[in-house]
Structure 1
Amino acid sequence: MKRSKIYIAAFCIITSSTLLSSCTKFLEEDPLDTKISSQFWKTPADAESAVNGLYFGGVPYLNNIDVDGGWTPKATMWGGIMSGLFVDKRKDRTFTNASENSTYNIESFNPTAQKIWAEYYIGISRANFVITNIPTMEGILDAAKINNYVAQGKFFRALAYFALVKDFGDVPLIDAPFTSTEGIYKERTPAADIYRFIEQDLLSIAEGDALPNKAFYANGAYVTKPLAQSLLAQVYLQWAGAPLNGGTEYYTKAADMAQKVISGGQHALIDAAGTTNGNNSAFNVIKTTKSSNEIIYAKEYNMTSYNVGNSYPARSIGAEAFQWKDAANNNVFRPAGDVMYNAYLPANVLLDSYAPSDIRRMEKQFFFRNYTDATGVAHTLNNVGNWLWFDESSLRNGRDGDYNIPMIRFAEILLIAAEGLARTGREGDARGYLNQVRRRAGLSNETASGDALIQSILTERFHEFPLEFKIWDDIRRTRLYPEANGAQSGRLKWVPLASATIQNKPEGTAKTGAIPEHALLWPIPLNEMQANPALKTQNPGWN
């Protein structure tokens, strides 16, 4: 992680103060640099700061966003909470209560939708400035550097549009920076065209040589060719399912692109032959690493050196832990703030579905209940804590943490390949990729075929990424929901969402049909519709 990169947490270029004040809210950005556009793009440092800013705004910043401030679930958690498969134990925000009570109206969800919409377009704005202006810097930057910087801009623009189209469906397509107010009001572009635009951006960098063919951390935690390929594999998998229902063509593309990452050789599973259940297990290395080539992309943090901290530790553990005392009657933990609580408590349908031999269900792998403090006193949580986010040093010393948060791992690429192949009739190869993930977790090889194989792959995704925020996308694209299929069976039963038994609606209560299809998209924020007269239609079902 480069010093300059971690410090630059935001970036904005403006052409004039008049433009900034007259832009509609979906394009607003508060400037942190007083340079106007004619003064910028003059030095290598200007270009570097613009590119570094891409890593801390837009989609990456969702790890930091909450609603109404305070100790709330982060934006990355909102989909899981809507699914009912994770619970916000604090319950003092409108969004959480509306989600649990299935009150899907604009009033309840508008502030949340506004937060993510605005952040996505901030990321797109920054990327557009990079893509447009970096090529004008001939003579300041060499050709290879220009191509690399533009490629990074295209990656983050694609990342933002991918998030937008999943969350909102049809959205305005903005592919260049605004230098005046002319043409600022954009209509919604059909989702299929947004996907094609994303594909165009990603193909141009996934098939070229502007990005290095290296692992993420080996490249200083900058965008790589395998990362661009991995994002495109994700895009194709989502495109294959609902609501576009691209089907076989896009399942094939997803599998093919995932296999390019696999055959590229830059990434691999930690402990691929099978891991232990101790402190040095693959899953604990995933939690703590800033060097492993299993990580294809991560949100970076470093509180110790750069004061850019990960606040997830205080959301990883129940509030009762705040009262724990050590042998000298001192508080064990002192979180970075006045509250510690479990913002993302996994539902029992997940916790009880892991097979007994599955290392991921074992203590201090993904989850935990027991903790022994430095003085030897043992403590037990009322509910499971999320060990993947737990940072002992952070909680004991009253500050945010240092651990990065994985956003794409090699295990996901194996499972994308597996699903794409399974859905297009290549079941033997699909099982081969699926079983790599299963064997690492201590499970036997899967031998199923047909729908049972698809169900096994979906279950494996849920078991492998419970705290990496994949489940809501999987529900949206498959229109399936996981139900229990035998205690500790290692299985889940994926059933049509419309008739599924939805968990925690409200907490502790299962309710059939508690997630209507329209709730799989966010409402278009009211502020955006009022500010932009071209946004004429609300997403169906939101009243």
Structure 2
Amino acid sequence: MKLLKVYISVFCMCSLSVLLNSCDDFLKEEPLDMKSSDQFWKTKADAESGVNALYFGGVPYLHNTDVGGGWTPKATMWGGIVSGLYVDKRKDRTFTTASEGCNFNIESFDDIAMKYWHEFYKGISRANFVIANIPTMTGVLDEATINNYVAQGKFFRAYGYFWLVKEFGGVPYISEPYTSTEGMYKERLSAEEVYKKIEADLLDIVNGDALPNKTFYDNGCYVTRAMAQTLLAQVYLQWAGAPLNGGTDYYGKAAQMALKVINDSPHELIHPNGTTDDLSSAYNVIKTTKSSAEIIYAKEYNYSDYSVGNSYACRSIGADAFQWGVFHPGGDVLYNAYLPCDMLLNSYDPADIRGHEKQFFFREYTDAAGGTHTLNNAGNWAWFDENALISGHDGDYNMPVFRFAEVLLIAAEGLARTGHEDNAVGGAKYYLNQVRKRAGLMDETATGDNLVQAILTERLHELPLEFKIWDDIRRTRLYPEASTETGKLKWTALSSAQIQNKPDGSTRAGAIPEYALLWPIPLDEIQANPALEGHQNPGWN
């Protein structure tokens, strides 16, 4: 594993900052070194630094970006908080207050929209420099290395634009590195046009041989073929739903791309025949592993060796845990930044191991002296890092981004929505029930819309702390409500559904207007780019 690439990237960005930024404000970083473009892209070390930087900014950096400094929800959490299915219990940011109060106004959401916009385009800028300059280094790098580096650049460019189009709809598409302000202000392309460009980048690399068919960890934590295939499967799944409504064709494409990962990659579930509900369970291995083939992509951390730490632990447990006298987190703060609502916690079947204590969530902790402590609210065990919290520093656990279980569920949904429901190999229930079997559940037997709802429920139960729910709400325009059936959720039209925690502890019908499913275009960008003037997302004017 080369977490060293993340560590190096912090330093390589000093010399790359002039190169890897647009001159526009949304891409601005403070240059700490004046190495110019005609001095860079000359050596093998330059190329490695440029590629390593892809893993440091852009979409991966959402795990480090917060609302406005201090101990606040990370950017990964913002959609789930808007959904109301998760609550920021600290409540000291305008965004959180506005979301709970259903005050979807541009003043309250502009700051976080700008953080998204800036981070995505920063990552895209870095990718564009790699894609444009690496092919010129034929005297330094061999052909296979050039092709691999360009493929990594295309992966991260596609990844950045995928998040942009999900969050904002149509956006300016920039495919060349900027070294001056000339021609830098672009009009918004339609969302469909952006999706087509994302697809082109990903098809180019999944259909080629530049990326190895290895697991993420076996490949030193660099981009693999399965990573690109998984991203493209996610792209097709989102494209199939709202607002583009690509429908059957794209559900079919999502399923077929997911099946490539399932059938042709070295990835597999941990404990596929069923797991335990103790600290050796598959879900605890997912939390702690830095080697498992279930992980297709993870955000790397390693505080112990490189001081590049995971700060989710502080956000995994309520402030009442301070009273125990056990934990001394960095910054002296503990709080539930992303607390699942009771409706979600109570929706797990009693037999579902994922809902058991110390699998994804927990309420009790036993300290080294044998004292047992009970939390006022559930904590997120998937993020809890005992050593980090006791020692007062960030942790070492990686954060899963793509997992094989999600790929199985993408295949299941795509097949179910295209009429392939069988429980035999190649049918939707065959892949769905692999995920359920590991969790200790009986096979799903539903058909039609009930099967689709079962798959959506399984996505939420399997991936509750991996930030998938907001995308699912946006593409389906459905919202999960409590069901009278054990282990089920009732997916209801968003416009009339009972939305959780609007405000905290209450529900409110139809509390999320459709326009709030996209963020506003940042006001600073509209002011800076004449081509964006008059083109704000509807509802945010």
Q: Tell me which interval the TM-score lies in, with the shorter structure as reference length.
A: over 0.9
Given the alignment, which residue of 413, 422, 426 partners 2:416? 422
- CA 1:432–1:17 in 2, change beyond 3 Å: closer, same or farther? closer
Inter-partner Cα distance in structure 1 for 2:248 and 2:530: 38
Match for residue 111 of structure 2? 111
Tell me: CA distance 1:263–1:17, structure 2 relative to 1, closer, same or farther (3 Å).
closer
Q: Which residue of 2 aligns with 1:383?
A: 377
- Is the alpha carbon distance of 1:524 and 1:3 closer, same or farther for their aligned partners in structure 2, counting shifts above 3 Å? closer
Q: Compute the TM-score of the two structures, normalised by the length of structure 1.
A: 0.97
State how far apart, in whole Å, the 2-side matches of 1:347 and 1:205 are.
Answer: 40
Alpha-carbon deviations, 1:71-127, whole Å to 9, x = none?
000000000000000000000000000000000000000001000100000000000
Tell whether 2:353 aligns with 1:368.
Answer: no
Q: Which amino acid aligns with 1:134?
A: I
- 2:536 paired residue among 522, 527, 538: 538
Sequence identity percentage: 70
Structure 1 pair 33–214 and aligned structure 2 pair: CA distance change class (3 A): farther
Residue 179 of structure 1 deviates from its aligned partner by 2.0
Q: Which residue of 2 aligns with 1:328?
A: none
Distance across 2 between alignment mates of 1:249 and 1:292? 33
Question: C-alpha distance in 2, partners of 1:340/1:25?
Answer: 34
Report what 1:477 is aligned to: 475
Residue 252 of structure 2 is matched in structure 1 by 252
Report deviation, 1:210.
0.2
The reply on whether 1:172 has 2:169 as its aligned counterpart is no
Mapped partners of 2:449, 2:3: distance in 1: 49
Is 1:506 the counterpart of 2:503 in the alignment?
yes
Q: 1:239 to 1:128 in 2, by over 3 A?
A: same
**Whole-Å separation in 2 of the counterparts to 1:353 and 1:286:** 22
Q: What is the alpha-carbon root mean square deviation over aligned residues?
A: 1.5
**Secondary structure of residue in 2 paired with 1:37:** coil
Local SS of the residue matching 2:349: coil
Q: What residue in structure 2 maps to residue 527 of structure 1? A: 524
| Aligned residues of 2:303 and 2:395 also touching (Cα < 8 A) | yes
Residue 344 of structure 2 is matched in structure 1 by: 350
Q: Is the 8 A contact 2:226 2:261 kept in 1?
A: yes
For 2:518, give the aligned amino acid: L
Deviations 1:336-388 (A, max 9, x none): 11211010110111111100000000000000000000111110000000000
The residue identity in structure 2 corresponding to 1:7 is Y
- Residue deviations 1:460-509 (CA, integer Å, cap 9, x gap): 0000000000000000000000000027x110000100000000000011
- Which residue in the other structure is 1:492 paired with? 489
2:158 touches 2:201 (CA, 8 Å); kept in 1? yes
Corresponding residue SS for 1:62: helix
Q: Distance in 2 between matches of 1:457 and 1:16?
A: 44
Aligned to 1:323: 323
Partners of 1:4 and 1:508 lie apart in 2 by 44
Most deviating of 346-355 and 2-11? 2-11
Deviation at 1:306?
A: 0.3
**Counterpart secondary structure, 2:55:** coil
Code of the residue aligned with 2:50 in structure 1: it is A
> Is 1:462–2:456 an aligned residue pair?
no
**What secondary structure, in the 3-state scheme, does the structure 1 residue paired with 2:41 have?**
coil
1:76-475 correspondence runs (5 A): 76-324=76-324, 331-428=325-422, 429-475=427-473
- The 1:444/1:210 distance shift into structure 2, 3 A limit, reads same
Stretch deviating more after TM superposition (196-205 or 530-539): 530-539
Distance apart, 1:323 and its partner CA: 1.5
Partners of 1:173 and 1:368 lie apart in 2 by 44
The Cα of 1:15 is off from its aligned counterpart by 9.9
Instruction: Name the CA distance, whole Å, in 1 between partners of 2:406 and 2:253.
Output: 15
Q: Deviations over 1:514-535 (max 9, x none)?
A: 0000000000000111111111
Task: Please report the TM-score for the alignment, with normalisation by the length of structure 2.
Answer: 0.97
> Does the residue aligned with 2:362 lie in a helix, a strand or coil?
strand
Q: Distance in 2 between matches of 1:415 and 1:19?
A: 37
| Structure 2 unaligned regions, length at least 5 | none
* Cα pair distance change 1:121/1:18, threshold 3 Å: closer
Partners in 2 of 1:240 and 1:19 — Cα distance? 33
2: CA distance, partners of 1:350 / 1:173: 38
Q: In structure 2, what is the equivalent of residue 35 of structure 1?
A: 35
* 1:280-316 Cα shifts (integer Å, max 9, x gaps): 1000000000000000000000000000000000000
- Tell me, yes or no, if the aligned pair for 2:258 and 2:410 is still in contact at 8 Å: yes
Partner Cα distance (2:438, 2:3) in 1: 35
Cα distance between partner residues in 2 of 1:423 and 1:151:
31
In the TM superposition, residue 135 of structure 1 has moved relative to its aligned partner by 0.2
Alpha-carbon distance in 2 for matches of 1:407, 1:293:
13
Deviation at 1:18, TM superposition (A): 12
Quick one: which amino acid aligns to residue 158 of structure 1?
Answer: A
Larger deviation, residues 24-33 vs 415-424: 24-33
Amino acid at match of 2:451: L
Range 387-396 or range 257-266, more displaced: 257-266
Quote the Cα distance in structure 2 between the aligned partners of 1:79 and 1:18: 32
Q: Which amino acid is 2:507 matched to? A: A
Is the Cα contact below 8 Å between 1:287 and 1:403 reproduced in 2?
A: yes
Q: State the 1:6 CA deviation.
A: 2.5
Secondary structure at the counterpart of residue 259 of structure 2: helix
| 1:327 paired residue number | none
Q: Provide the C-alpha distance between the structure 1 equivalents of 2:32 and 2:295, rounded to a whole number of angstroms.
A: 31
One-letter amino acid matched to 1:380: T
- Assess, with a 3 A threshold, how the Cα gap between structure 1 residues 393 and 497 changes in structure 2: closer, same or farther: same
For 2:100, give the aligned amino acid: E
Residues 1:19 and 1:438: Cα distance change in structure 2 (over 3 Å): closer
Q: Deviations over 1:429-462 (max 9, x none)?
A: 0000000000000000001100000000000000
**Post-superposition offset of 1:14:** 8.8
**Given the superposition, is the C-alpha separation of residues 18 and 215 from structure 1 closer, same or farther in structure 2, using an over 3 Å criterion?**
closer
- CA-CA distance at 1:35 after TM superposition: 1.4
User: Given that residues 59 and 160 in structure 1 are in contact (C-alpha distance below 8 angstroms), is that contact kept between their aligned partners in structure 2?
Assistant: yes
Long gaps (5+) in structure 1? 325-330
Residue type matched to 1:453 in 2?
L
2:435 and 2:72 mapped to 1: Cα distance? 32
Question: Would the aligned equivalents of 1:13 and 1:129 in 2 still touch at CA under 8 Å?
Answer: no
> In the alignment, is the contact (CA less than 8 A) between 2:19 and 2:36 conserved in 1?
no
* Structure 2 CA distance for aligned equivalents of residues 351 and 267 of structure 1: 29
